[in-house]
Structure 1
Amino acid sequence: MLALKKVLANNSTIYRREVRLMGNKFEISVVGNDPVWAGEKINSAITEINRVEKLLSTFSEDSEINAINRNAGIKPVKVSAEIFKLIDRSIQISELTYGAFDITYYSAGKDSDTDNHTAIASYTVVNYKDVQLDATATTVFLKEKGMRIGFGANSKGYAADRAKYVLQLEGVSHGVINAGGDLLTWGLQPDMEPWTVAAADPRQQTQPFADMDISNMAVATSVNVEKYATINDKKLNTVKSKNGFTVSEIKSVSILSPTAEFADAMATPVMTIGVNAGLYLINQLNQIGCVIIDDHNRLYPSKSINIT
Structure 2
Amino acid sequence: MILGANMASSQVMRTRDALLMGGRFDITIVAPDSLTAERMIDTVIAEITRIEYLISDWKPTTQVSLINKLAGIRPVRVDKEVLELTERAIAISRLTEGAFDISFAAMERIWKFDGTMTQMPARADVKRARRYVGYKDILIDKEKSTVFLRKKGMKIGFGALGEGYAADRCRALMLSKGINSGIINATGDIQAWGSRPDGAPWRIGINDPFENGALVAAIPLDGAVTTSGSYEKYAVINGKRYAHIINPATGYPATGLTSVTVTGPGAETANALSTSLMVMGAKKGLQLLRQFPDYECLMITDKGKYVTSPGFDLESVRIGE
TM-score between both structures, scaled by the size of structure 2: 0.81
Residues of 2 paired with 1:278 and 1:122: CA distance? 28
Q: For 1:147, what is the secondary structure of its paired residue? A: coil
Q: For 2:57, what is the secondary structure of its paired residue? A: coil
Residues of 1 paired with 2:287 and 2:272: CA distance? 17
Q: Does 2:24 correspond to 1:25?
A: yes
Q: How many corresponding residue pairs?
A: 291
Q: Report if the CA contact (8 A) 1:8-1:189 is conserved.
A: no
CA-atom RMSD in angstroms: 2.8
Query: Which of 216, 220, 226 is matched with 2:226 structurally?
Result: 220
Q: Report if the CA contact (8 A) 2:191-2:225 is conserved.
A: yes
Q: Does 2:15 correspond to 1:8?
A: no
Within-5 A mapping of 1:268-307: 268-307=275-314
Within-5 A mapping of 1:215-254: 215=222, 217-224=223-230, 228-230=231-233, 236-237=243-244, 241-244=247-250, 247-254=254-261
Q: Which has the higher helix share?
A: 2
Deviation of 1:292 after TM superposition, in Å, equals 0.6
The answer for the alignment partner of 1:194 in structure 2 is 201
Deviation of 1:237 after TM superposition, in Å, equals 4.8
Q: Report if the CA contact (8 A) 1:212-1:306 is conserved.
A: no
Within-5 A mapping of 1:55-94: 55-94=54-93
Q: Does 2:267 correspond to 1:260?
A: yes
Q: For 2:155, what is the secondary structure of its paired residue? A: strand
For 1:282, the aligned partner's letter is L
% same residue: 34
The answer for the alignment partner of 2:319 in structure 1 is none
Change (3 A) 1:107 1:209: closer
Change (3 A) 1:273 1:106: closer
Ranges in structure 2 where 5+ consecutive residues have no aligned partner: 115-126, 235-241, 317-321
The answer for the alignment partner of 2:36 in structure 1 is 37
Moved more, 39-48 or 122-131: 122-131
Within-5 A mapping of 1:206-217: 206-215=213-222, 217=223
Change (3 A) 1:51 1:39: same
Deviation of 1:99 after TM superposition, in Å, equals 0.8
- Once the two structures are superposed, what CA deviation does each residue of 1:219-268 show, in whole Å capped at 9, x if it has no partner? 111111xxx3349xxx8358x83434984432211111211112222222
Deviation of 1:61 after TM superposition, in Å, equals 4.5
Residues of 2 paired with 1:289 and 1:153: CA distance? 19
For 2:159, the aligned partner's letter is G
Change (3 A) 1:303 1:150: same
TM-score between both structures, scaled by the size of structure 1: 0.84
Change (3 A) 1:254 1:106: closer
Ranges in structure 1 where 5+ consecutive residues have no aligned partner: none
Residues of 1 paired with 2:57 and 2:291: CA distance? 35
Residues of 1 paired with 2:190 and 2:60: CA distance? 32
